[in-house]
């Protein structure tokens, strides 16, 4: 399973790239709004720095508006992936963007049927939101398992991005199910790195080393 970083923060992307473990970045309007500065320049910088897919969301609600925004964003860099919330309007846009060779990420996916529709429209990626499903008492990871089984049944090549990840355990669960990608906040990445026994082990090695004869 590949790991993407779910952020619009430059320092976080730089730190994760330095670690050498992420192959893409996903942003959304809420994440972009939290950051200052020129977001278009930052997105172009991420494209170069990460060298992999960078998802950027369109804000229009109608197909034509989505297409206009998508074409403008896609022209910025070959690594740009256009993120569209799944609606009847966006499915039409996804189909057209595929015909134009522009990659898409169908986001705000909360059901297997939405994932089937996104795949059939030709989305490159679909992003089911695990944490937000759990927030309303539903089984987020169960949805990932359903979509994975359906895509396997029909050799669908749309990649599953497990999104709205809130804990390291969810990353393990997503990998066990066989999801293609988990997009994770920087905090979750930090939590994945650490283990108390690793810290204790390092401290013991250091103190033993200091006492060497």
Yes or no: say if 72 and 94 are a contact pair by the CB < 8 Å rule: no
Give the shortest CB-118-to-ligand G3P separation in angstroms: 15
Catalytic residue among 18, 44, 83, 95: 83
Distance CA 150, CA 43 (A): 33
Interaction with ligand G3P in 2-41: which residues (CB under 6 A)? 6, 26, 28
Task: Give me the residue label for tokens 């283990």.
Answer: 195
Nearer to ligand G3P, 80 or 163 (CB): 163
SS3 14: helix
What is the number of the residue whose Cβ is closest to ligand G3P?
163
When asked if residue 163 is in the footprint of ligand G3P (CB under 6 A), the reply is: yes
Q: What angle do CA 58, 63, 64 make, to 5 degrees?
A: 90
98 is catalytic: no
Interaction with ligand G3P in 69-108: which residues (CB under 6 A)? none
Residue of 106, 112, 125, 119 whose CA lies nearest to 52: 125
Q: Which residues are catalytic?
A: 83
Residues of the shown chain interacting with ligand G3P in the complex, contacts defined by CB under 6 A: 6, 26, 28, 129, 131-132, 163-164, 166, 183
């Amino acid at each position: 399973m590949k790991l993407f970083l779910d952020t619009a923060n430059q320092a976080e992307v730089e730190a994760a790239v330095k670690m050498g473990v992420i192959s893409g970045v996903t942003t959304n309007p809420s994440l972009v709004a939290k950051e200052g500065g020129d977001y278009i320049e930052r997105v172009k910088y991420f494209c170069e720095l990460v060298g992999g897919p960078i998802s950027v969301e369109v804000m229009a609600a109608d197909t034509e508006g989505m297409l206009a925004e998508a074409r403008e964003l896609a022209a910025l860099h070959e690594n740009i992936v256009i993120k569209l919330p799944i609606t009847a309007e966006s499915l039409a846009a996804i189909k057209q963007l595929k015909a134009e060779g522009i990659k898409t990420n169908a986001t705000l996916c909360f059901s297997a049927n939405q994932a089937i529709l996104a795949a059939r429209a030709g989305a490159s990626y679909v992003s089911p939101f695990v944490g937000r499903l759990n927030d309303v008492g539903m089984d987020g990871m169960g949805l990932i398992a359903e979509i994975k089984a359906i895509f396997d049944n029909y050799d669908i090549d749309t990649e599953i991005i497990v999104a709205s990840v809130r804990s390291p355990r969810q990353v393990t669960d997503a990998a066990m199910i066989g999801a293609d990608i988990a997009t994770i906040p920087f905090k979750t990445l930090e939590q994945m790195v650490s283990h108390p026994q690793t810290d204790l082990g390092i401290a013991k090695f250091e103190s033993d080393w200091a006492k060497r004869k």
